[in-house]
Every structure is written in C-alpha cells, then in structure tokens.
Structure 1
C-alpha cells in the first residue's frame, strides 16, 4: 500500500481482542477517536460492520467524506479506504489486533494517504496523529 504520508499509532488495551474488535468495527464509536462526526451510511454485505459497510465522516468545517470497510477478519484485522468525497488520494487504514500475554489487546493502527496540494498530506497527518493518539484510549478499557 504505497502512499507518502503515514500515521502510525499503537495502543494496548486491558480488554480481549473480541471486545476491542467489536468497539473498533462499530463505526459510530470512532467519532471521539478521530475527532469527527460519524454517521453510518450503509451496513456491510454480510454483517452490519463487515466488508462493504460505509461511514460518513465530517471533520470541522471540511466537507464530509465516506470510508468503506474493505477487509474485516473478526478479532484480528480491519481495513478501510476512502470511497467518496475526499481531497486525499490513495487513502487506506489498517487496524491489526494481537492478543497480549496477559489477555489484553495490542492495536497497531496505520493510515496512509497522499494529497494533490503540496503540504496538505503532512498537515492532515499531524492532525490525525494527534487526534488518534489522544482518542484511541477512550475506545475500550
């Protein structure tokens, strides 16, 4: 997944991977994590939050855009991509969950993207890095 701008955050939860996955996959739970207003646009092809499920994100004064789940492997992996309405190019997100030795969960969250306007990708990256690092711990215990 080549893109010049990357955001990378890790976080360890006390909760097991099934609990963390359930929180991460539920679109509406991500608002405080991403600093966005999130609305569900469409359920997934075979499950509510699975592949094909789409959310609308509105961040500050920017126009809303859609993200669609492209991979959903219960309790281990969620991948998504912007599917409509963003000035970002090649945007993707990957959330990998690994059980820790004490029964908790390590989340490894990476986002990649580019932008057609010079400097925009770096600016968006700094904002996302700050928002996610600050908000990711609010998701689950």
Structure 2
C-alpha cells in the first residue's frame, strides 16, 4: 500500500503564541476538519492540556478514530498519531509553527498508509478539501483576536 503524504501551509496574521494556543486546543483543532466532530477523551497530565499524552476522538459519520499527542514543544510544534480506529495505518500529523514577518507560518504534514486499496487517494483528497474549508475560519478568528 502506498503511503500518502499531504503538505499544508498557512499564514496567520497573528503572533505565534496565539496560533499555537489555538491549534493545541483539541476543540479548535476539531473545528478545522468539518464535518468531523472532536471529543476530548484524555487531557495531558502536564500544564498543557493538549500536550503529550492527551487523546481526542475524531468522528466522521460512522468512522471513529483516536489521535494521541506524541510530541509537544510549546509555540513550536505538535505531533500526533492515530492510535485507534480509522481507515488508515501509520497516520502521523506534524505541525510546525514559525514566526514570520507579520505573523505565523504553519507547516503541517500528514502521512498515512491506507488499510484498503484505492482508499488512500480519496482520504487524502477529503483531508485536503476539509483543511481548506476549515482553516479559512481559523485565519479570520485569529486575525480578529490579534487586531
């Protein structure tokens, strides 16, 4: 089965601390992936509730899967893995936040293997489309918080 690699980039006219805080909050993160629903199953034991060890459940119709935060560097990066369910294997998401003139650059990569032939390209397309729809609202919300 072929591995899927999705690369997403987005500029936010907001400070890195604000953008990072937004994306480390499971509920905000879940809103990006319309029509998915996000439910927090476990918060991290650290001072960062969305930090290492926290778990969220994503639901799209009847498909459910759990994502566990595996790496968390405040204001710099977040990594998560699908640890249960879903139509994919070896799913890893990595978000890297950089200060750039006028705001923050988010570089987001998603890698996964499909459990079933021919599903990988479809899932990659759905993820990319959902990101484009969801991130525009995040851009607006974060810009208004920084105004």
Please report the TM-score for the alignment, with normalisation by the length of structure 2. Answer: 0.88
Aligned to 1:93: 93
Q: Is this contact kept in 2: 1:9–1:133, CA < 8 A?
A: no
Partners of 1:132 and 1:8 in 2: CA distance: 11
Deviation at 1:57, TM superposition (A): 0.3
Separation of aligned partners in 2, 1:9 and 1:131: 12
Q: What is residue 68 of structure 2 aligned with on the other side?
A: 68
Contact 1:52/1:69 (<8 A) preserved: yes
C-alpha distance in 2 between matches for 1:64 and 1:77: 25
As a proportion of its length, which structure holds more helix? 2
Q: How far apart are 1:6 and its partner, in Å?
A: 1.3
Shift of 1:134: 2.1
Residue 32 of structure 1 deviates from its aligned partner by 2.6
1:34 shift after superposition: 1.1
Greater per-residue strand proportion: 2
Mapped contact 1:11–1:137 kept (Cα < 8 A): no
How many residue pairs get matched? 137
Give, in angstroms, the shift of residue 76 of structure 1.
0.7
Q: Tell me whether 1:54 sits opposite 2:55 in the alignment.
A: yes
CA shift, 1:66, in A, is: 0.5
Paired position in structure 1 for 2:16: 17
Structural RMSD (CA) = 1.2
Consecutive unaligned residues of structure 1, counting only runs of 5 or more, are none
Cα offset, 1:42, TM superposition: 0.1
Name the residue aligned to 1:80.
Answer: 80
How far off is 1:136 after superposition? 1.4
**Alignment partners' CA distance in 1, 2:83 and 2:22:** 22
Structure 2: which 5+ residue stretches go unaligned? Answer: none
CA contact (8 A) 2:31 2:38 kept: no
Aligned equivalents of 2:29, 2:104: Cα separation in 1: 17
Aligned to 1:110: 109
What TM-score do you get using the length of structure 1 for normalisation?
0.92
